[in-house]
Amino acid sequence: MLGTLEPDWHKYVEFHIKVLGCRFCQANLDDLQSQSQETQQEAFQARIMESTIGFLSRPM
């Protein structure tokens, strides 16, 4: 999942979602994973822009 839960809680949540099939918790987990991916993509894009700006602003 997101790697933030203690092992016992992780096992419980995994059981709750995968075995019991709680659609509400699965939807919440999907939302959290989507937000995490968006944040990582934004950080990656920001690093690219910063390095590009630094490269282009150097005198030749």
Q: Walk along the chain (60 residues) and give the pLDDT tens digit of each residue.
A: 567 889 999 999 899 999 999 999 999 889 888 887 778 788 888 888 787 776 677 666
pLDDT of residue 22: 94
* pTM exceeding 0.75: no
Task: Give residue 11's Cα distance to chain centre.
Answer: 20
**Domain boundaries defined on the chain:** 7-46
pLDDT of residue 1: 55
